[in-house]
Amino acid sequence: MSDIIKLTEISKQYKMFGIEPLSSTFKQGYITGLIGPNGAGKTTLIKMIMGITRPDKGEITIFGQSQSLKEAEIKQRIGFVSDECHYYEHLSIQSMKNIIAPFYKKWDDHAFSRLLERFELLPKMKIRSLSKGMKMKLALAFALSHQADLLIMDEPTAGLDPVFRRELLDLLAEIMLDERKSILFSTHITTDLDRVADYIAFLHRGRLVFNESKEQIQERYVLVKGPSSLLEAPGVKAAFIGIRKSLVGFEGLTDRGHEIAAMVGGGAQLSRPALEDIMYFTAKGEKGHAAAAVT
């Protein structure tokens, strides 16, 4: 299993936000979901991978080549899709294609035409007349028409209706039938990744919490529900990443499931958390630690 992207101690600092020194890899032949709350650093990380923004320190390697030294060559092999429309809206789809196609050595007009037909887009349509979902389909058509080996998508399903989101995920599954292809998919809609992702990378406040297979994540994290009285036992609270209390009890996330089970016995319900639960309780836990530090 080879690495399609390798990050080595990359960091980026802004006035109010920063990516901490980060090292990780993304595997070839798989869909990796990049998750995190708004402002976690997902878009900043993708911009650094794409060469739109330069890291202050560290190195990015893509397809085994230095991103800073071989940027033009690397971008020939990447298809990029953003939730924003970066096309000239006064142009038709055909005119925009005539501008974009010459930049790619492996541009395939037949593939582009097939995708337009599949997405029910006509070459003569003006881009400004397209809905958000139709613009996303157009971005996909451009990204998939030059035989890209790596598809990078930054929040592609944001604001889209459930029908098209399902259609998009089905398309991604089709792409991955070719084991040479890879996808990096940034989103805060974690239910999309529950369906299609093989690996999950979780960013929070500029820090990489984990980058693991879904199976590893499901084995490591446990969601615990029970009466609040269980939290009074020695050592129980400290075993949780985050806890939410209510009038009827508590709910908490832990990566120490066996310890918790031994501490609370049969007094709590243990289950497998969704990705959304992991995001929520990780953020809640850090807020709790910050409040404790202030007091």
The Cα–Cα gap between 79 and 100 comes to 12
Element (H, E) at 118: helix 109-118
* pLDDT band at 31; cut points 50, 70, 90: very high
* pLDDT band at 87; cut points 50, 70, 90: very high
- Angle at the Cα of 122 (from 120 to 126), degrees rounded to 5? 120
Q: Average pLDDT for residues 44-65, to the nearest whole number? A: 94
| Whether the Cβ atoms of residue 229 and residue 264 lie closer than 8 Å to each other | no
List of residues 6+ apart from 20 with CB closer than 8 A: 11, 206, 207, 208
List of residues 6+ apart from 215 with CB closer than 8 A: none
Burial of 41 (0-12, 13-18, 19+ CB in 10 A): buried
pLDDT digits (tens, 9 = 90+) for 103-153: 999 999 999 999 999 999 999 999 999 988 889 889 999 999 999 999 999
Q: Is the pLDDT of residue 295 over 70?
A: no
pLDDT digits (tens, 9 = 90+) for 144-189: 999 999 999 998 877 778 888 888 888 888 888 888 899 999 987 8
DSSP 231: G
What domains are defined for the chain? 3-217 (3.40.50.300), 221-294 (no CATH)
pLDDT digits (tens, 9 = 90+) for 245-293: 998 899 999 999 888 888 877 788 999 999 999 989 988 775 444 333 3
Element (H, E) at 153: strand 150-154
Q: Which pLDDT value is given to residue 1?
A: 65
Q: Average pLDDT for residues 60-77, to the nearest whole number? A: 94
Q: What is the mean pLDDT of the chain?
A: 89
Beta strands 222-226 and 269-271: pairing type? antiparallel
| Whether the Cβ atoms of residue 276 and residue 190 lie closer than 8 Å to each other | yes
List of residues 6+ apart from 222 with CB closer than 8 A: 253, 254, 255, 257, 260, 270, 271, 272, 273
In SS3 terms, 253-265 reads as EECCHHHHHHHHC
CB-side neighbour CA atoms (13 Å) of 129: 9
Q: How many residues does the chain have?
A: 295
pTM, two decimals, is 0.88
68-77 CB burial, b ≥16 within 10 A, e <16 = eeeeeebbeb
**Helix %, strand %, coil % of the chain (to 5):** 40, 30, 35
